[in-house]
Every structure is written in structure tokens, then in C-alpha cells.
């Protein structure tokens, strides 16, 4: 029989760390949030749909037992990124990790030109970093 014990079982190596995960209401963002909650992180999650964000927050709390703060924002708009950054910074003393899982994809169609102009993940991530004070402006 295989040994299923692990030296990490029961350890919470992320305890004391605050992690913001965008796109945490579904998919890889939600799974990442659950995993980090189990490891003891204080989770701050963001998603577009208020109901899905609250459902995810409840699931993540149940998985890890620790604090989960939830925010609703559509991160395809730069104004929403700025608003989210401001709200998060007012609600948490420190942000240790940013996991950006938000993105867009198009099935069987090309994106509209306005969508391409208004949303660029690299620009959005940089804007978040600047808004959150995580990096300098130089």
C-alpha cells in the first residue's frame, strides 16, 4: 500500500499572507483560491458576477476556514480596475500576492475592434500594479 502521508498535511504555509485573485468566481481562479485557502491564506477575490462571487467566497471559506473578502468588478474596464484597487487597499492592511486569472477568449468569432482596444491583459495588470502601489512609476 502506498504511503499517503505528507510532511505538509496540517501545515498552513500561507498563513498571514493576503492574496488577491481576479477571476476567482470560476475556473482556474476559483480552484487557485480554494487551494490557497487550504494553505492558510487570507483570500481577497474578485469577479464580475455578484452571485457567482458570493458563491465562490462561501465555497472558499468552507475549504480553508479563513477570511475571504469578495469584490465585484469587471476588469475589462480600466476604471473598474482603479476602483477595485482602491477598495482592496482600503479593506486590507497588506497585499502579499496578486494572482491575475482574468482574461477573455473568443469562440468561432473575431473580437470586435472596440474589445481589443479596451482590454489588454498586460496593460490591465500594469495599471493594477500602479494603482495598488505595488510598483513604481519609473
Q: Which CATH number fits domain 18-132: 3.40.50.10790, 3.40.50.300, 3.40.50.720, 2.40.50.140?
A: 3.40.50.720
Residue 5 has pLDDT above 80, yes or no: no
Query: What is the percentage of the chain residues whose pLDDT exceeds 70?
Result: 67
What's the average model confidence in pLDDT over 80-98?
A: 88
Sign of torsion over alpha carbons 85, 124, 26, 115: positive
Residue 117 has pLDDT above 90, yes or no: no
- The per-residue pLDDT for range 60-72, each reduced to its tens digit, is 999 988 899 999 9
What's the average model confidence in pLDDT over 42-54?
A: 96
What's the average model confidence in pLDDT over 3-17?
A: 67
Report whether 15 contacts 40 (CB < 8 A): yes
| Domain chopping of the chain, boundaries | 18-132
Amino acid at each position: 500500500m502506498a504511503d499517503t502521508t505528507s510532511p505538509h498535511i496540517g501545515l498552513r504555509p500561507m498563513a498571514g499572507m493576503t492574496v488577491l485573485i481576479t477571476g476567482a468566481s470560476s475556473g482556474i481562479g476559483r480552484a487557485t483560491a480554494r487551494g490557497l485557502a487550504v494553505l492558510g491564506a487570507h483570500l481577497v477575490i474578485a469577479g464580475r458576477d455578484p452571485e457567482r462571487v458570493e458563491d465562490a467566497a462561501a465555497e472558499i471559506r468552507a475549504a480553508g476556514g479563513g477570511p475571504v473578502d469578495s469584490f465585484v468588478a469587471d476588469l475589462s474596464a480600466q476604471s473598474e480596475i482603479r476602483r477595485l484597487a482602491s477598495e482592496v487597499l482600503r479593506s486590507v492592511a497588506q497585499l502579499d500576492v496578486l494572482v491575475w486569472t482574468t482574461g477573455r477568449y473568443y469562440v468561432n468569432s473575431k473580437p470586435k475592434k472596440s474589445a481589443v482596444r479596451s482590454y489588454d491583459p498586460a496593460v490591465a495588470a500594469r495599471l493594477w500594479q500602479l494603482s495598488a502601489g505595488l510598483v513604481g512609476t519609473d
